[in-house]
Amino acid sequence: MDFSRRAVLAGMAAMGMAQRALAQSPMGLARGPVQPTWQSLVDHYRFPDWFRDAKLGLWSHWGPQSVPEQGDWYGRFLYMQGHPMYEHHLNTYGHPSQSGMMEIQHRWTAERWDPDALIARYKRAGAKYFVSLACHHDNLDCYDSRYHAWNSLRVGPKKDVVGIWEKAARRAGLKFGVSNHASHAWHWYQPAYGYDPTGPRKGERYDAFRLRKADGRGTWWDGLDPQQLYTGGHAVMPDGIDSIAAMNAWHDQHDGQWIETAPPNDAAFAAKWLLRQTDLMQRYKPDFCYFDNYELPFGPIGLQAAADYYNRSIEWHGKIDVVLTAKQLKPYARFGLVQDVERGFSDHLWEEPWQTDTCLGDWFYNVARLNDKSYKTAEQVIQRLADVVSKNGNLLLSVPQPGDGSIDGEEEKILDGMSAWIAINDAAIFGSRPWRSYGEGPTKLQVGMQNEQSAGAFTPQDVRFTTNKGALYALFLGWPTGSASIASLGHDRLKDAVIERVTLLGGGAVPFRRDAQGLHVELPARPAAGFVPVLRLDGRGLV
């Protein structure tokens, strides 16, 4: 039987198991008009006005993988000999046969976490919604989880991280969201069942392979089952692999791909995922939920989760007033969810609202970003925000936190720079809508995910447009020196419009003239901390 057929059968079994489990759970699936089909999602979903107005969300993509301060996917790569994270782990925490990811989760203490102060800073920087990571591929639920014992009240900080963030965000008047990445834990964790292919401990299996619940007696994890954390051996590396290259090739083939199906021969994993997801929605009533998935996880299981969330929103608000995001939506799914484009750009104006998510550095805190000063700058963040908003999108920006829950001084400076820009130019962003064209300029952007590095630096000729309350705004992604021209606003392209006044936000009236080639303006010299100047254009026939 090939893997795809096994996955289909596992998915069908998981759906039945999930239905039985939910029928026996304290809550069950929410009842309502939305059915677990793509057609029903599309028929009932409408993009909420609050999301269309919000434009900017800040994200705490924070959890135990932040503890080593080495960046993304630490819980996978620490088990892959030859990877820098394996070397760091070996030198810092010991060999992964004795000290693996569960020990890193134990070290997550959050001792310097001040959620109210961080939320206040994020709000000053322009955030209208805040998102808390609820569970990542490392399979720790960062909340008071009814169905998963490996959670942050029993492990690590011994706190309801999501619940504390939720209360802080709502106190500040922000919409609140969560992100769920746990559907990928089962294949992501399979290297934890492997071994070193070379060296003095060659062939010695890692902790996930050997530990069982009974082994925890008298330890900090007494009563917990490591197999529930590591998900079980679904693709265990066979004996006899004797080189790092062969090990990497084996993992690339068997568990290193982005897999959206249930694990073969383990329908219970997908059924439990649905229980955890519906529990998360019921407990915290989030306005926003991010799925780290291409469309929805586990086929019909994901459809059940989406319908449950939408029906719960109808219970809470009298209508579907929530946002559920996923990636790589096919045409049949396009208007049933909000499409998220991870670390990507768009080259066109979208018909429907969408979102791109990115991070100041790595998703999980990497101290190298601080040391080599490779964070995104405040100017780059605002350039990105202007580009996305002009194309009918929102920007969800993560600010990495170390395991202690603080943010570093460079991140504070970036947020301060964003705050200063927002204080002057907020009218061009929040509550705005796209113009007839997103903008103009020489910088070419590629469509798709994970393509940030392919984009060149924006120039003063790159201009983006938004509209708000009858005014047209032009945002220069680079600060022009002296005169600047906007071809899209010339008589030839905008024949029936009359421009009566041009104002630099925060700077007063701007001299201008207009001819067939464009609108020509004279901007002041760039101030020391200035970037992305914004012009307000008033007149007739502009919007």
Q: Is the pLDDT of residue 4 over 50?
A: no
d(CA 49, CA 374): 35
Contact of 258 with 294, CB cutoff 8 Å: yes
Q: Is the pLDDT of residue 266 over 90?
A: yes
Residue 384, both tokens = 């990105």
Q: CA 469 from chain center: how many Å?
A: 30
Averaged pLDDT score across all residues of the chain: 95
With bands split at pLDDT 50, 70 and 90, how would you rate the model's confidence at 2?
very low
d(CA 444, CA 442): 6
Q: b/e for 432-470, b at 16 or more Cβ within 10 A?
A: bebbeebbbbebebeeebeebeebeebebbbbbbbbbee
> Which pLDDT belongs to residue 98?
97
Query: For residue 76, what are the CA distances in angstroms to 60, 257, 529?
Result: 21, 13, 41
Within 26-113, where are the H helices?
A: 38-44, 49-54, 74-77, 84-92, 101-106
Query: For residue 478, what are the CA distances in angstroms to 126, 335, 441?
Result: 20, 34, 11
Q: pLDDT per residue over 346-392, tens digit each?
A: 999 999 999 999 999 999 999 999 999 999 999 999 999 999 999 99
Contact of 479 with 531, CB cutoff 8 Å: yes
Q: Is the pLDDT of residue 453 over 90?
A: no
d(CA 115, CA 62): 12
Q: pLDDT per residue over 126-140, tens digit each?
A: 999 999 999 999 999
Q: b/e for 247-261, b at 16 or more Cβ within 10 A?
A: bbebbeebbbeebbb
With bands split at pLDDT 50, 70 and 90, how would you rate the model's confidence at 274?
very high
Q: Is the pLDDT of residue 10 over 70?
A: no
With bands split at pLDDT 50, 70 and 90, how would you rate the model's confidence at 6?
low
d(CA 167, CA 172): 9
3-state DSSP call for residue 432?
A: coil
Contact of 175 with 165, CB cutoff 8 Å: no
d(CA 290, CA 341): 11
> What's the average model confidence in pLDDT over 257-284?
96
Residue 383, both tokens = 């350039």
d(CA 142, CA 112): 17
> Which pLDDT belongs to residue 1?
26
> What's the average model confidence in pLDDT over 51-62?
98
Q: How many helices and strands, by DSSP H and E, does the chain display?
A: 17, 17
Q: Which helix (H) or strand (E) holds 405?
A: none
Delineate the domains of the chain, giving CATH numbers in brackets.
3-184+267-425 (3.20.20.80), 459-540 (2.60.40.1180)
- Amino acid identity for residue 306 in this structure: A
- Decide which of 7 and 202 is more confident: 202
Count the residues in the chain.
543
Residue 106, both tokens = 């134990």
Instruction: Give the residue carrying structure tokens 């066979």.
Output: 238
Q: CA 261 from chain center: how many Å?
A: 21
Q: Which of 294, 296, 259 is nearest to 450 (CA)?
A: 294
With bands split at pLDDT 50, 70 and 90, how would you rate the model's confidence at 22?
low
> Which pLDDT belongs to residue 76?
98
Q: Is the pLDDT of residue 529 over 80?
A: yes
3-state DSSP call for residue 411?
A: helix
Start-to-end Cα distance in the chain: 60
Q: pLDDT per residue over 384-423, tens digit each?
A: 999 999 999 999 999 999 999 999 999 999 999 999 999 9
Beta strands 354-359; 393-398: pairing state: parallel
Contact of 500 with 394, CB cutoff 8 Å: no
Measured at the alpha carbon of residue 183, what is the angle toward residues 166 and 62, in degrees to the nearest 5? 40
With bands split at pLDDT 50, 70 and 90, how would you rate the model's confidence at 17?
low
> Which pLDDT belongs to residue 257?
93
Q: Quote the DSSP letter at residue 78.
A: T
d(CA 273, CA 277): 6
With bands split at pLDDT 50, 70 and 90, how would you rate the model's confidence at 454?
confident
> Which pLDDT belongs to residue 99?
98
